[in-house]
Amino acid sequence: MPSATLPPGPPRSLRTLVIYGPGRDPLQFFGGLARDYGDISTARVMAERLVLLNHPQLVKDVLVTNQRNFRKGRGLEQAKRVLGEGLLTSEGQVHLRQRRLMQPAFHRDRIASYAGVMAEQADRVQREWADGDVKDVAAEMNRLTLAIVGRTLFDTNVESEASTVGKALTAVLDSFWLTMLPLIDVLERLPLPVFRRGREARLELDRVIYQMIADRRRSLEDRGDLLSMLLMAQDEGDGTGMTDRQVRDEAMTIFLAGHETTANALSWMWFLLSSAPEVEAEMHDEIDRTLGDRLPTLADLPNLPTVERVVTEAMRLYPPAWIIGRRAIDDYPVGDYVVPARSIVLVSPYLLQRDARFFAEPDRFLPSRWTPEFKASLTPFAYFPFGGGTRRCIGESFAWMELVLVAATIARRWQFRVVPGHPVVPQPVVTLRMKHGMKMTLLRRH
């Protein structure tokens, strides 16, 4: 039996009581914990005890084997301010019921029907570009993935709202680390600009979502999309459907999470390709051979293995969901230690997917590593950009298809180069964003 001792970590001090350390540079903070204290470490940060687990088996134990001993962590507890009781934030029976109601929208056959829309939307956006344009590619990818989510899952043209949604989401995420502070419910009432912008942004996002719900309720039309399913869904157990509030929470979760994460993955991919000309040339050659002068289809996916490897490797280095938190319900034995109940247990795809124990040359962009043999030999949960267990991302198959189809569609015509001097700085909030966007020069291929 393990002794009731805490994992190792930095000594507690007055400074840790008043300064939220991870908020300044979370990647450095948690990377330092793993480097200095090993696979099991702890830090007391203000009112919370954080425990970082940095080994695939420990990740599996938390997300799969012992998942019943955990609830969502503080980050997603606070995300309820925007997402409500959606699939990402709900717990227990509420989560199981909502996932059961939503699962049909992500069935393999239904996802396959979205492929044409994904390629067509990517093609439409790239046709608006001109050779030599300088664009914030992060903003362009957000605009594109928002349009794809709108068309595929809500059968709605939301592109006119792209700028509004983008600004609102940025305002919400800008205040994210402040929501980690104790007494945030009191602090948020203070007349500080960051909190005012956050409140206004949440109202703006609500306006967009409730308008879609109201329009669809009036039409009483089943368009076969996620929104129709949410509005018409009835639980097999009790026959009840969803209220507007429940539909809003699920729609908000899919609407935001479904475009933000994919946009970030694509943006980091273009950044990595811009400094890897040999990889880029191999990818272009495969796309030209496979597609010629047409858009990709679902049937092309097996013939685009290089594109898939590029996407896989980009998400290894820059996973959109860079950290996953769980709150321990009871004391949790791990190794020679005991994690006290109510502690926040953290596992980080960003850290593990850059770990030299599992990836040779871990900081290099090497899509060629992703051979079938390597994937078969890779330790489970050394690579987990979509989480794991019953909380694994419901939209994983949707996202993989979208990433490969969009990458192939755009790379048919374009390559991107980072504008010299543009600062490329990861911004780890709920997702792994680019702090200063991604200013790139667009170069037409043919």
Query: Which candidate, 136, 172, 203, 228, places its Cα nearest to that of 441?
Result: 136
For residue 5, tell me if it sits in a domain. no
Could you read off the pLDDT of 222-246 as tens digits, one per residue? 777 888 878 887 655 566 677 888 8
Query: Which candidate, 340, 325, 352, 343, places its Cα nearest to that of 50?
Result: 343
For residue 7, tell me if it sits in a domain. no
Q: What is the DSSP letter of 143?
A: H
| Rounded Cα–Cα distance for residues 218 and 250 (Å) | 19
Type of residue numbered 333: P
Q: How confident is the model at residue 48, as a pLDDT?
A: 84
Q: How confident is the model at residue 154, as a pLDDT?
A: 82
Q: How confident is the model at residue 82, as a pLDDT?
A: 66
> C-alpha distances in angstroms, 292 versus 149, 283, 295?
27, 13, 8
For residue 406, tell me if it sits in a domain. yes
For residue 135, tell me if it sits in a domain. yes
Q: How confident is the model at residue 393, as a pLDDT?
A: 86
Q: Based on the structure, what is the number of domains in the chain?
A: 1
Q: How confident is the model at residue 345, as a pLDDT?
A: 95
| Rounded Cα–Cα distance for residues 71 and 310 (Å) | 34
Contact status, residue 419 vs residue 440, Cβ threshold 8 Å:
yes
CA 2 vs. chain centroid, Å, equals 35
pTM of the model: 0.88
H or E stretch at 444: strand 439-444
For residue 244, tell me if it sits in a domain. yes
| Rounded Cα–Cα distance for residues 26 and 34 (Å) | 12
Q: How confident is the model at residue 175, as a pLDDT?
A: 58
Could you read off the pLDDT of 274-323 as tens digits, one per residue? 999 999 999 999 999 999 999 999 999 999 999 999 999 999 999 999 99
Contact status, residue 431 vs residue 264, Cβ threshold 8 Å:
yes
Helices 137-154 and 244-274, axial angle in degrees (round to 10): 140
Query: Which candidate, 115, 303, 98, 408, places its Cα nearest to that of 88?
Result: 98
For the chain, residues with pLDDT lower than 70 are 1-4, 13-23, 73-83, 88, 159-160, 162, 169, 171-192, 194-195, 234-240
For residue 82, tell me if it sits in a domain. yes
The CATH number that applies at residue 175 is 1.10.630.10
C-alpha dihedral sign at 198, 200, 201, 206: positive
For residue 259, tell me if it sits in a domain. yes
Q: How confident is the model at residue 126, as a pLDDT?
A: 97
For residue 212, tell me if it sits in a domain. yes
| Rounded Cα–Cα distance for residues 131 and 148 (Å) | 24
Query: Which candidate, 354, 149, 178, places its Cα nearest to that of 256?
Result: 149
Q: How confident is the model at residue 287, as a pLDDT?
A: 98
Name the residue range of residue 174's domain.
14-444
